[in-house]
Chain A
């Protein structure tokens, strides 16, 4: 049909370069999960550090992991790394201040 001997549908002179879709419509279409998880992770790590709640710090680690897993490759890795490091530091600081085992929040 389209690839018989007579006519080759290919037209080298009509090649158009790939243009990534404009960033305006991207935020609406894209999944907001990595951004939310990033924010949640930061909030939990601040809570863990300020209120000395170990479970907050652990939840922050989980949030940053989820954010990393869902992130777009075009996104800045600095943002990801910073939230990850913040959550790890929250966990470490909680245990340095009080090395007793964690008590569940309920």
Chain B
């Protein structure tokens, strides 16, 4: 019962409130009659608002009960307000909130609510307008790359230097016991051993040894990998390459017979045969397998004649080659060594290149790039092989047959060369003669004195006639001889 009582009371309260509102609107009805007053009222309000700053305070008609204060922009809804007033006067009884009352204000609430509804998009400030360090990320990357390059340069240079020193320390004793002069850069006045390597590059070291029987001298070149260049280091990650030791022994003319011979890995021999002048001319056959002599399959032989191979492949040499096959790239003995083929623009060089009796050795340092100083000790037996080869080259002599063959080969090569260049040599001589004639004619033309000119011309004519006569004489002599 009590609940029912309270419920009824609540209902009554609500009803009275709504009635009051209706009453308000009823009051407005009354006010409708007084249109002028209303308008007057609002006119005042409007005038006030015009004089005021953009903010405007609008009060609804019923100041007693309700005041709604709203802020507006200037002149925005002035007319709308009046409309609202009119409509408010029109529809008052039916609804507590007249839609039309807020007609003019629809946009504003809508816009403000729409602003709330639309997501706020934060546009990134373009990088070129920012001032933070983060926008310079590319520059930082570049500088980091440069620093990495410099670090690698220092580390690589030091490693190469340590490897070279380790090699020299291992081999110093053997070299000093075989050569008087160990280490020379050619700049000192006296021929004294410098006792150290010449650094040609950050990855190439030279050593010149001289003062021994049989040979003029020995040039050892340590060709390390370019550990100081980061690009090279990265390239080597794709394709492993080994450090190399290249030894070139220049023999005395009387201490080596005439032959051309090479042994090494098949790949290296094919390349040498293409590149080297002497191997391409004297060893025209493909590299043969050395299995006949007990060599491993990895090694092949290029030789001028079979006798040379038989003579070279004695037990000790075979022992060296078999045991250290993985470290041997190529061994090349030649009395006609002149270096790689020179490609000249004119086609063929006009004279045969100078040859020297040479023994060349190319060894690979074990480790395939990942070399440590202690790996240099593994190369010491190979230096023993070099010394042995020097002595062997002095001892080995071709027999009569072999010598004849060798001489024939050399004569053949020279003849071929002369034939090839004959035409060119003739052309060269012809052009030289024409140049001379032209120069003389020019001299005659340039001569101002007409008398002198005439005399010079006559002299030139006489010379030419003499030449013609000589030629005719020669031809007659040849004919007589032929007969």
Q: How far is the CB of B128 from chain A (nearest CB, A)?
A: 4
Say yes or no: is A66 at the interface (Cβ < 8 Å to chain B).
Answer: yes
Q: Are B184 and A18 closer than 8 Å at their CB atoms?
A: yes
Q: Are B391 and A2 closer than 8 Å at their CB atoms?
A: yes
Q: Are B178 and A104 closer than 8 Å at their CB atoms?
A: no
Say yes or no: is B287 at the interface (Cβ < 8 Å to chain A).
Answer: no
Query: In the complex, which of the residues A16, A66, A100 contacts B229, with contact meaning CB atoms closer than 8 Å?
Result: A66
Q: How far is the CB of A7 from chain B (nearest CB, A)?
A: 8
Q: Are A101 and B340 closer than 8 Å at their CB atoms?
A: no
Q: How far is the CB of A77 from chain B (nearest CB, A)?
A: 14
State the CA gap A12–B191 with chains docked (Å): 10
Q: Are A17 and B135 closer than 8 Å at their CB atoms?
A: no
Q: Are B146 and A15 closer than 8 Å at their CB atoms?
A: no
Query: In the complex, which of the residues B136, B213, B391 contacts A11, with contact meaning CB atoms closer than 8 Å?
Result: B213
State the CA gap A18–B346 with chains docked (Å): 32
Say yes or no: is B88 at the interface (Cβ < 8 Å to chain A).
Answer: no
A53-96: contact bitstring with B at CB < 8 Å (1 yes, 0 no)?
Answer: 00000100110011001111110000000000000000000000
B176-192: contact bitstring with A at CB < 8 Å (1 yes, 0 no)?
Answer: 01111100111000010
Interface size class of A (residues with CB under 8 A): 20 to 34
Query: In the complex, which of the residues B137, B153, B180, B226 contacts A15, with contact meaning CB atoms closer than 8 Å?
Result: B180
Interface pick from B11-19, B79-87, B204-212, B319-327: B204-212
Say yes or no: is A25 at the interface (Cβ < 8 Å to chain B).
Answer: yes
Contacts of A29 in B (CB 8 A): 340
Given contacts A15-B191, A69-B202, A73-B201, contact A1 B142 (CB under 8 A): no
Q: Are A104 and B138 closer than 8 Å at their CB atoms?
A: yes
Say yes or no: is B39 at the interface (Cβ < 8 Å to chain A).
Answer: no
| Chain B binding surface, main DSSP class | mixed
State the CA gap A21–B382 with chains docked (Å): 25
Q: Are A101 and B135 closer than 8 Å at their CB atoms?
A: yes
Q: How far is the CB of A58 from chain B (nearest CB, A)?
A: 5
Select from chain B the residue with minimum beta-carbon distance to A70.
B229
Contacts of A100 in B (CB 8 A): 127-128
Say yes or no: is B200 at the interface (Cβ < 8 Å to chain A).
Answer: yes
State the CA gap A2–B128 with chains docked (Å): 76
Say yes or no: is A3 at the interface (Cβ < 8 Å to chain B).
Answer: yes
Q: Are A62 and B340 closer than 8 Å at their CB atoms?
A: no
Q: How far is the CB of B233 from chain A (nearest CB, A)?
A: 11
Q: How far is the CB of A6 from chain B (nearest CB, A)?
A: 13
Contacts of B388 in A (CB 8 A): 1-2
Q: Are A62 and B145 closer than 8 Å at their CB atoms?
A: yes
State the CA gap A33–B342 with chains docked (Å): 21
Given contacts A1-B391, A16-B210, A16-B216, contact A10 B138 (CB under 8 A): no
Q: Are B212 and A11 closer than 8 Å at their CB atoms?
A: yes
Select from chain A the residue with minimum beta-carbon distance to B204.
A72
A65, A69, A72, A104 interface centre (most CB from chain B within 10 Å) = A69
Q: Are B200 and A10 closer than 8 Å at their CB atoms?
A: no
Tell me the B151-182 residues at the A interface (CB within 8 Å): 153, 177-181
Say yes or no: is B459 at the interface (Cβ < 8 Å to chain A).
Answer: no
Contacts of B105 in A (CB 8 A): none
Contacts of B229 in A (CB 8 A): 66, 69-70
State the CA gap A52–B212 with chains docked (Å): 63
Q: Are A65 and B186 closer than 8 Å at their CB atoms?
A: no
State the CA gap A29–B204 with chains docked (Å): 13
B219-241: contact bitstring with A at CB < 8 Å (1 yes, 0 no)?
Answer: 10000001011010000000000
Q: Are B191 and A3 closer than 8 Å at their CB atoms?
A: no
Contacts of A102 in B (CB 8 A): 136, 138-139, 142
Say yes or no: is B428 at the interface (Cβ < 8 Å to chain A).
Answer: no
Contacts of B387 in A (CB 8 A): 1-2
B436-447: contact bitstring with A at CB < 8 Å (1 yes, 0 no)?
Answer: 000000000000
Contacts of B146 in A (CB 8 A): 61-62, 65
Q: How far is the CB of B282 from chain A (nearest CB, A)?
A: 21
Query: In the complex, which of the residues A2, A58, A66, A70 contacts B142, with contact meaning CB atoms closer than 8 Å?
Result: A58
State the CA gap A18–B138 with chains docked (Å): 50
Given contacts A61-B146, A100-B128, contact A15 B211 (CB under 8 A): yes
Tell me the B115-164 residues at the A interface (CB within 8 Å): 127-128, 135-139, 142, 145-146, 149-150, 153
Q: Are A72 and B128 closer than 8 Å at their CB atoms?
A: no
Q: Are B201 and A72 closer than 8 Å at their CB atoms?
A: yes
Select from chain A the residue with minimum beta-carbon distance to B139.
A102
Q: Are B391 and A12 closer than 8 Å at their CB atoms?
A: no
Q: Are B339 and A25 closer than 8 Å at their CB atoms?
A: yes
State the CA gap A19–B213 with chains docked (Å): 20
Contacts of A58 in B (CB 8 A): 142
Residues of B participating in the A interface, judged by any CB pair closer than 8 Å: 127-128, 135-139, 142, 145-146, 149-150, 153, 177-181, 184-186, 191, 199-202, 208, 210-214, 216-217, 219, 226, 228-229, 231, 339-340, 342, 387-388, 390-391
Q: List 22 A-B contacts (CB under 8 A).
A: A9-B212, A10-B180, A11-B180, A14-B211, A15-B181, A15-B210, A16-B211, A16-B216, A28-B342, A58-B142, A61-B142, A61-B146, A65-B149, A66-B231, A69-B228, A69-B229, A72-B201, A73-B199, A100-B127, A101-B135, A101-B138, A103-B138
